[in-house]
């Protein structure tokens, strides 16, 4: 028996094979149309009664708890957008186009993905939600590496990405994208907000030693804090890069003791920060006198979840945070009330930023009167709003970075409850942390992809 028909020539076979290969390469774009013209875009809901959001959060790995909190916030946001629950920040947000009946009359549903806090896994789960689940937008994440990777995918696929927790300058700097938006503050803002408080508390004649997580966020935070503290008159003795997830940082901490530095700056987040801070305290650094001064440890970015992990080691440590549940403004209180009544504990800063991002995207669609991404992007660009915590806020058009007040916080010495771990030292006004978008470079890219 012949496997190939005698009429089938080698040329025909080759042509068929080539066509098949080309079809398989082009397959995703056959199923997912890009935003090439209004009325024809990725996952256009058309006449459907609902739209689908894709929440891409770490459900496994070191940031699983933070991811779980992000997911809780998203679920709450979806409820509020759909007109369920007490409405949360929809009662305080101004200006507001949402009316509490979904978006443009369509009910919001959602699917979830697990970023695992790994760039490739995050891209794969975002892609899956767009291609298979029909997600019209993607949001979430707890790492700048993930944010930059997913943002780039969002631009390629023509789907808006509302970043979760990401603090690297690169996210809205050299790696910014037209389809990516960040509500969270960044390392530059942390430096600008923290430096005057450091000068006030520790003086202007200090020698700092940096331990820095060796990836995009760590590098930009190190750079921003060095710039801000050197402008005060501080000297940077050494800046040492540490591998992500080192566990035991003792070999990096021991040289600090003989370096002549009197301040240790830990550019670590999450588990790395919990470990390095705990171990720095074990090494007796906070009891030491160096250069005739009390040795100090500074953690430029931390959160309540991290403070819980660090236990007593966090007490008295200065840093910055994007938002804290104890804020007394109307918007923050509305959110804390909704979240607290729903889940029995206060939201984290990651939960806050994710909740706000979901509402902002929904509001932009309603305002634009369409889900067509270029129009939604235009609605978000330059959008000024209030009533969502941190005072009047601007989504700057030039780099898609939100500008709002920044909180300088300190680990509380005598907490009144299990959640009362940070005290707000200062609410630094937005004007103090604004900057020229040109300093971080990057190109947003086109509206139409």
Partner 1 sequence: MDAIFIQLLNGLDKGGAYALIALGLTLVFGTLGVVNFAHGALFMLGAFCAVAMNQLLTMSVKVKDESITFFEAYKEQPYLEIWFGDTGLTIIDYSVPISILLAIPVMLLIGLVMERGLIRHFYRRSHAEQILVTFGLAIVLQEIIKVFFGANPLPMTAPEIVSGSAAVGSWVGLDASLVYPWWRLIYLFFSLVVVGGVFAFLRFTTYGMVVRAGMYDRETVGLLGINIERRFTVVFGLAAVVAGLAGVMYTPIVPPDYHLGMEFLVLSFVVVVVGGMGSLPGAVIAGFLLGVLQSFASMNEVKQLFPGIDQIIIYLVAVVILLVRPRGLMGRKGLMET
Q: Is there a contact between 152 and 29 (Cβ–Cβ < 8 Å)?
A: no
CB of 275 to partner 1, least distance (A): 6
Our finding on whether 65 is near partner 1 (CB under 8 A) is yes
Structure tokens at 442: 């990057």
Q: Binder to partner 1 among 110, 217, 252, 361 (CB under 8 A)?
A: 252
Site string for partner 1, 285-304 (x = CB under 8 A): --x-----------------
**Identified binder of partner 1 from the candidate list 95, 247, 369, 382, rule CB under 8 A:** 247
Distance of CA 272 to the CA centre of its chain: 17
Indicate whether 85 belongs to the interface with partner 1 (CB under 8 A). no
Report strand pairing: 293-294 vs 393-395: unpaired
Residue 336 is a binding residue for partner 1 (CB under 8 A) = yes
Give the shortest CB-46-to-partner 1 separation in angstroms. 39
Distance CA 325, CA 188 (A): 23
For residues 194 and 408, the answer to whether their CB atoms sit within 8 Å is yes
Tokens of 261: 């530095």
Exactly one of 85, 311, 442, 445 binds partner 1 (CB under 8 A); that residue is 311
Among 45, 83, 340, 391, binds partner 1 (CB under 8 A): 340
* 8 A C-beta contact, residue 82 and residue 363: no
Pick the closer one to partner 1 by CB: 24 or 418: 418
**Angle 119-131/144-157 helices, nearest 10 degrees?**
30
Among 232, 257, 394, 427, the residue binding partner 1 under the rule CB under 8 A is 257
Q: Which of 57, 62, 77, 211 binds partner 1 (CB under 8 A)?
A: 62
Nearer to partner 1, 7 or 417 (CB): 417
**425 part of the interface to partner 1, by CB under 8 A:** no
Binding of partner 1 at residue 305 (CB under 8 A)? yes
Q: Which is nearer to partner 1, 193 or 297 (CB)?
A: 297
Q: Using the rule CB under 8 A, is 73 a contact of partner 1? A: no
Contacts of 269 (CB under 8 A, 6+ apart): 167, 213, 217, 301, 302, 306
In whole angstroms, the minimum distance from the beta carbon of 64 to partner 1 comes to: 4
User: Which residues in the 114-173 window bind partner 1 by CB under 8 A?
Assistant: none
Residue 328 in the binding site for partner 1 (CB under 8 A): no
Rule CB under 8 A: say whether 422 interacts with partner 1: no
Looking at 16-24, 158-166, 333-341, 352-360, which segment touches partner 1 (CB under 8 A)? 333-341
Residue closer to partner 1 (CB basis): 309 or 319:
309
Task: Identify which of 323, 17, 397, 391 has the alpha carbon closest to the alpha carbon of residue 172.
Answer: 397
- Asked if 258 is part of the footprint of partner 1 (rule: CB under 8 A), the reply reads yes
In the list 260, 284, 382, 429, the residue contacting partner 1 (rule: CB under 8 A) is 284
> Residue 86, interface with partner 1 (CB under 8 A)?
no
Stretch that binds partner 1, among 22-30, 162-170, 192-200, 242-250 (CB under 8 A): 242-250
Considering only 312, 384, 443, 448, the residue that binds partner 1 (CB under 8 A) is 312
Q: Considering only the stretches 107-115, 219-227, 410-418, 424-432, report the one whose residues sit in contact with partner 1 under the rule CB under 8 A.
A: 410-418
Under rule CB under 8 A, residue 24 binds partner 1 = no
Does residue 403 bind partner 1 (CB under 8 A)? no
Instruction: Please answer whether residues 339 and 351 qualify as being in contact, where contact means their C-beta atoms are separated by less than 8 angstroms.
Output: yes
Contact status, residue 71 vs residue 348, Cβ threshold 8 Å: no
According to CB under 8 A, which one of 248, 384, 443, 448 is a site residue for partner 1?
A: 248
Kindly tell me which residue out of 254, 291, 294, 432 binds partner 1, with binding defined by CB under 8 A.
Answer: 254
Q: How many C-beta atoms lie closer than 10 Å to residue 126's C-beta?
A: 28
| Of the residues 255, 260, 441, 446, which one makes contact with partner 1 according to CB under 8 A | 255
Binding site for partner 1 (CB under 8 A): 61-65, 68, 238, 240, 243, 245, 247-248, 250-252, 254-255, 257-258, 271, 274-275, 278-279, 282-284, 287, 305, 308-313, 336-337, 339-341, 343-346, 415-420
């Amino acid at each position: 028996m012949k496997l190939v028909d005698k009429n089938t020539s080698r040329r025909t076979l080759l042509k068929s094979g080539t066509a098949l290969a080309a079809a398989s390469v082009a397959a995703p774009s056959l199923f997912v149309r890009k935003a090439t013209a209004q009325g024809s875009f990725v996952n256009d809901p058309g006449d459907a009664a609902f739209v689908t959001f894709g929440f891409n959060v770490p459900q496994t790995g070191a940031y699983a708890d933070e991811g779980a909190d992000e997911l809780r916030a998203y679920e709450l946001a979806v409820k509020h957008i759909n007109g369920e629950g007490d409405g949360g920040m929809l009662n305080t947000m101004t200006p507001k186009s949402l009316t509490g009946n979904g978006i443009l009359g369509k009910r919001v549903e959602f699917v979830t993905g697990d970023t695992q806090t790994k760039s490739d896994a995050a891209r794969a789960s975002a892609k899956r939600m767009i291609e298979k689940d029909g997600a019209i937008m993607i949001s979430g994440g707890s790492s700048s590496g993930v944010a930059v990777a997913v943002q780039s995918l969002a631009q390629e696929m023509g789907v808006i990405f509302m970043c979760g927790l990401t603090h690297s300058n690169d996210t809205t700097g050299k790696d910014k994208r037209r389809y990516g938006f960040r509500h969270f503050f960044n390392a530059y803002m942390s430096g600008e907000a923290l430096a005057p408080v450091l000068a006030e508390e520790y003086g202007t004649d200090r020698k700092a030693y940096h331990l820095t997580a060796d990836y995009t966020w760590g590098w930009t935070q190190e750079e921003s804090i060095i710039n801000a503290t050197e402008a005060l008159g501080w000297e940077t003795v050494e800046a040492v890069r540490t591998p992500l997830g080192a566990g035991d940082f003792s070999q990096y901490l021991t040289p600090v003791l003989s370096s002549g530095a009197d301040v240790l700056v830990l550019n670590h987040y999450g588990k790395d920060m919990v470990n390095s801070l705990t171990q720095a305290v074990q090494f007796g650094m906070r009891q030491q006198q160096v250069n005739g001064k009390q040795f100090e440890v500074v953690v430029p970015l931390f959160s309540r979840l991290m403070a819980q992990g660090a236990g007593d080691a966090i007490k008295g440590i200065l840093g910055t945070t994007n938002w804290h549940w104890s804020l007394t403004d109307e918007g923050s209180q509305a959110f804390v009330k909704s979240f607290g009544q729903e889940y029995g504990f206060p939201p984290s800063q990651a939960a806050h930023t994710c909740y706000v991002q979901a509402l902002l995207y929904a509001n932009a669609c309603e305002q634009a009167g369409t889900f067509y991404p270029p129009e939604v992007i235009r609605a978000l660009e330059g959008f000024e709003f209030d009533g969502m915590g941190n005072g009047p806020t601007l989504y700057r058009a030039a780099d898609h970075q939100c500008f709002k007040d920044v909180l300088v916080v300190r680990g509380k010495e005598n907490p009144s409850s299990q959640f009362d771990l940070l005290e707000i030292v200062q609410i630094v006004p937005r004007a103090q942390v604004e900057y020229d978008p040109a300093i971080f470079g990057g190109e947003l890219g086109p509206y139409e992809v």
